[in-house]
Amino acid sequence: MERRVVFSGWLFPAFLLMPQLAVTLVFFFWPAAQAILQSMRREDAFGLSTQFVAAENFAAVLGDPFYLASAEVTLLFSVAVAVLALAAGLLLAVMADRVVRGAAVYKTVLLLPYAVAPAIAGVLWLFLFNPSIGIIAVGLRRLGIDWNYLLDADQAMLLVVLAAAWKQISYNFLFFLAGLQSIPASLLEASAIDGASPRRRFWTIVFPLLAPTSFFLLVVNIVYAFFDTFGIIHNVTQGGPAKATEILVYKVWYDGMVGLDLGSSAAQSVILMAIVIGLTAIQFRFIERRVHYA
């Protein structure tokens, strides 16, 4: 039954692979190699004097209490964003799945935030909440809430978590909705006939069957919170107050582009690269195992 197309030589398949390989080489391996090289050097901003320092930059980074604090902030931030975005995405998907009339409209509207670039999302939230110019900030102050995330670390964290999660909800919504629609209706009907309440049906049938989707989304959301939220942080808090929202990827940028300390910045990006590789490996292992079950 199995039908396979077999190429008669290696030249043509190699030719077909070329574009993808070239892109990977130019946009991934080459910069990655550069980063590794740079991470073992000490250099002034202009590159006029370069010294090879081996692992000194890594030792300095890992021994820096501010780096460890930033790692802690990143962990808190990522977990908060992932949990919030996943929970909201799931809730909306379950709701939208039930809607009969005008479903397309709901879905389209719910997907819109995903089309917004992180930097733009940051600016939107900034205009709403900035203590000086924000519309909602004015309202909060009228309500007697002392809203000033330029000084209040918790408020700053809350704001960037909300902004980052808001942007990711659409993505999660889409995947959860697809997951829900692939659950056989017969299973749900059978359990309804057996007298299971909607709540019970959700927790015993829908939720377990959504587990592979959820796991996939968890990894994607954490990677998103780790890396793609730079624009939001940059526009809203610049990592402040007192580094309370300085996530690792922001620190890489700050130390490299503002501090012009390229060695340290490169060492930090190499560490981040290792984290992504780790996360991706975990995802592949677990997802593959799940596929066997399903």
Partner 1 sequence: MKPIMLAAMAACFAASLGSASAEPIELQWWHAMTAINAERVNKLATDFNALTDYKVTPVFKGSYPETMTAAVAAFRAGNPPHIVQVFEVGTATMMSAKGAVKPVYQLMADAGEPFDPQNYLPTVTGYYSTADGKMLSMPFNSSTAIVYWNKDAFTKAGLDPEKPPKTWPETFAIAKKLKTGGANCAVVPAWITWTQVEQFNAWHNLPLATKANGLDGPDTELKFNTPVMTKHIAALAEAIKDKSFDYGGRLNEAEGRFVSGDCAMIQTSSGFYGNVKTNAKFAFGMTQLPYYPDIEGAPQNSIIGGASLWIMGGKKPEEYKGIAKFLSYLSRTEVQREMHEVTGYLPITKAAYEATKASGFYDKNPGREIPLLQLAGKPPTENSRGLRLGNLVQIRDVIAEDLEGVFAGKAEPKPALDDAVARGNAILRQFQKNTQ
Q: Under the rule (CB under 8 A), what is the footprint of partner 1? A: 42-49, 130, 132-133, 148, 150-153, 238, 240-243, 257-261, 263
Least distance (Å) between residue 242 CB and partner 1: 4
Least distance (Å) between residue 115 CB and partner 1: 25
Residue 236: which of 119, 70, 93 has the closest Cα? 119
Q: Facing residues of 52 across strands?
A: 41
Least distance (Å) between residue 133 CB and partner 1: 5
Toward partner 1, which CB reaches closer, 99 or 258? 258
Backbone φ and ψ of 192, nearest 5°: -65, -40
d(CA 207, CA 195): 18
Toward partner 1, which CB reaches closer, 166 or 261? 261
Toward partner 1, which CB reaches closer, 156 or 165? 156
Least distance (Å) between residue 243 CB and partner 1: 6
Toward partner 1, which CB reaches closer, 44 or 189? 44
Residue 110's alpha-carbon distances to 16, 36, 103, 230, 231, in angstroms, are 38, 41, 11, 23, 21
Toward partner 1, which CB reaches closer, 85 or 163? 163
Least distance (Å) between residue 134 CB and partner 1: 11
Non-local CB neighbours of 274 within 8 Å, separated by 6+ positions: none
Residue 206: which of 95, 131, 104, 128 has the closest Cα? 95
